[in-house]
Structure 1
C-alpha cells in the first residue's frame, strides 16, 4: 500500500457521511409523514386509510434511518483499523470495474432524483409561503 493510500477502514469511515445524511433525510421525511397523518386524522374511512398508510410509511422510513445510522457508526469505527492484506492475484478486476460503473450510475440516478424532489419541494414551499402571506 502506498504511503498516501487510505486503508479500507479509512475509506469507509470517510464514506460514512452518505448513510448519515440519508438517515437524517429519512428521519426528517418520517417526521413530516407522521405530522401529516395526525393532521388528516381518522374521522372518515378515507382519512383513516390515509392516516394508516402514512403512519406505516413513516415507521418504515424510520427503520431505514436507524439502519443507516447504525451502518455509519460501524463505518466510522473502522477509521483506525490497520490495513488488511489484499492479495492482488485474488482480485477480479473486471468484476470490480463493472461494480464501480454500476455504483456510479446509481449514485448519479439518486442525485438526479433527489434534485427533482428538492425542486418539487421548493415549489410546494413557495406555494405554502404565498398562501401564508395571504392569511
Structure 2
C-alpha cells in the first residue's frame, strides 16, 4: 500500500483533530470557570448557588475534556490500521450518506457558533 493511499485508519487519524481541539476548548472553558470561582461572593444564597453551579460545571467539563483527549489519542493510534475490505453497496446506503451529510452540516454550524463566540469574547477582552 502506498503511503498516500487513503485508508480508514488514516481517515480516523486525520479526523482526530476534531475531538482533540474540542477537548482543549472544553478544558480551557473549565479553567476559565475555575478562575471565576474566587470572584463569587458566597455570603448569600445566590452566591452559594452560583458557586455550586460552577463547581459542578467545572467537574463535568473536565470529564468531557479528558474523554475527548482519549478519543483523539485512540483515533490517532489507528493511523496504520490495515485496509479492510468494504461492501461498496452499503457504503452508498442512503442512511450512511445522510448521516455524513448531517455531520458536515454540524461542522458548518460549529464554525458559525465559534465565530460568533470568538467575536463576543474578543469584545469582552476589550
Please confirm whether the aligned pair reaches a TM-score higher than 0.5, indicating the same fold: yes
* Higher CA-based Rg: 1
| Shift of residue 36, structure 1, vs aligned partner | 0.7
Question: For 2:41 and 2:18, how far apart are their aligned partners in 1?
Answer: 34
TM-score for both structures, normalised by structure 2:
0.91
Give me the CA root mean square deviation: 1.8
| Shift of residue 23, structure 1, vs aligned partner | 0.6
Question: For 1:125 and 1:89, how far apart are their aligned partners in 2?
Answer: 52
**For residues 18-29 of structure 1, what are the structure 2 equivalents within 5 Å?**
18-29=18-29
Question: For 1:68 and 1:99, how far apart are their aligned partners in 2?
Answer: 21
* Equivalent residue number for residue 72 of structure 1: 72
| Shift of residue 38, structure 1, vs aligned partner | 2.2
Contact 1:37 1:52 in 2 (8 A): no
Moved more, 4-13 or 15-24: 4-13
TM-score for both structures, normalised by structure 1:
0.85
Could you list the structure 1 runs, at least 4 aligned residues long, displaced by more than 6 angstroms after superposition.
none
SS of match in other structure, 1:79: coil
The answer as to 2:117 corresponding to 1:123 is: no
Q: 1:28-58 deviations in whole A, cap 9, x for unaligned?
A: 1001101112221422211111011011111
Question: For 2:38 and 2:86, how far apart are their aligned partners in 1?
Answer: 53
Q: 1:56-93 deviations in whole A, cap 9, x for unaligned?
A: 11111111101100100100110111111112233343
Question: For 1:104 and 1:50, how far apart are their aligned partners in 2?
Answer: 36
| Relative contact order higher in (CA < 8 Å, ≥ 6 apart) | 2
Name structure 1 gaps, 5 residues minimum: 127-135
Moved more, 74-83 or 91-100: 91-100
Aligned length: 126
* Equivalent residue number for residue 131 of structure 1: none
